[in-house]
Structure 1
């Protein structure tokens, strides 16, 4: 599903250049939930942005579902993010004036999905994230955890193949954050997506199938198939 090979990304030039990614390579199989861990400034967000086509590497390749992301033009990247790659951010990114259902359905409207089909998909996704009873509420009327659940439902609206989540629990308390991570775990299993989730929280890493550790732009190692009990500090 995801193949990253020899990815480098630097910002600036000369002695002051910041090498955000250095020869990063790894693969993720379909239906895998992987936790990307590392200290702030280690390169996690840059790596996620390169994989999702929000940033371009200086060298190397990224294949998502067989498509070379690094070779796409802007139109190709837009189609990739619309059809096959979805993002969840820690800031939620919901449209304040729209209800939960309208936020979830927004990507389907852009894709011109027929109204009846769109409504069925929105209803199914809100049920999946446990918010069927909050469909008509706006983001300001929801808790942080509920807003993140809406954001996850919206990310799944177009049935993406790859879900990228950048610190999705960063603004949530520990208990709510754990429930959101458990939801992501369930989504991987029920929707059949592959998920790459960056996080700082060791308790959340235990829910992942794989752990990828990054430090100073380099992968330090992939800590096996089961993350539970591993030291992720």
Structure 2
């Protein structure tokens, strides 16, 4: 079975000459469908940089990234934007919610810009909000929600797309242990109905125990498990 995502000798450096800093030093890995994959490593180990490269928010200094059989590391900015909009759900630490929209409207907005059929919106929005446990808060706006609740809205927005790939940067960082596990189980529930793969960064040892695969970043490379 063809891997959903392939990384081949991916490097990312910042700066030049004497001031060059190599953050990633030749990352090679295959990510199959239907998995929740965790990236772990100390702060500054390159986890977020790697997510940004996979999501086309940045481009590698060297190496290749293939997504669904396409060499996305050579895509134009327009192609990368379209790929993110229609084929990826991205959960940032900053949440990226629209302040004057309700929980429902924020989730629906993600479907709207992805070009999902309008007939699907209501059902998908309700399902995603229920999966993250926010049905009773669906009419609230971001400023009426806690940080953890806003994080769950961002998760719901990504899940409603049912995309081939969800990229999540510390999606449980603001959540208590019970809700963190709830979100991971929600990801796993999504995987049973779709071809989605989730790649997330986390420091949570409990979560590392229940995901399908863990990659550890050390000194810019994947450490041997």
Q: Considering the TM-score relative to the shorter chain, is it more than 0.5? A: yes
Change (3 A) 1:102 1:216: same
Q: Is the 8 A contact 1:31 1:194 kept in 2?
A: yes
Residue 146 of structure 1 pairs with residue 149 of structure 2: yes
Change (3 A) 1:179 1:144: farther
TM-score normalized by the length of structure 2: 0.91
Secondary structure of the 1:136 match is coil
The CA RMSD over aligned residues, in Å, is: 1.7
Distance 1:84 1:69 in 2: 12
Distance 2:194 2:82 in 1: 20
The superposition leaves residues 50-69 of structure 1 with CA deviations (integer Å, 9 ceiling, x where unpaired) of 01100000111111111211
The Cα of 1:125 is off from its aligned counterpart by 1.9
Distance 1:125 1:179 in 2: 13
In structure 1, what is the equivalent of residue 57 of structure 2? 54
- The count of residues paired between Structure 1 and Structure 2 equals 222
Mean Cα displacement is larger for which, 144-153 or 74-83?
144-153
Distance 1:181 1:111 in 2: 24
Change (3 A) 1:197 1:111: closer
Ranges in structure 2 where 5+ consecutive residues have no aligned partner: none
1:204 to 203, 207, 212: 207
The superposition leaves residues 12-41 of structure 1 with CA deviations (integer Å, 9 ceiling, x where unpaired) of 012221101001000111101111010001
The Cα of 1:197 is off from its aligned counterpart by 0.8
Distance 1:26 1:162 in 2: 16
Residue 168 of structure 1 pairs with residue 171 of structure 2: yes
Ranges in structure 1 where 5+ consecutive residues have no aligned partner: 224-233
The Cα of 1:141 is off from its aligned counterpart by 2.2
Distance 2:166 2:159 in 1: 8
2:80 to 73, 77, 81: 77
Distance 1:111 1:28 in 2: 23
TM-score normalized by the length of structure 1: 0.88
Distance 2:184 2:153 in 1: 14
In structure 2, what is the equivalent of residue 180 of structure 1? 183
Q: Is the 8 A contact 1:7 1:25 kept in 2?
A: yes
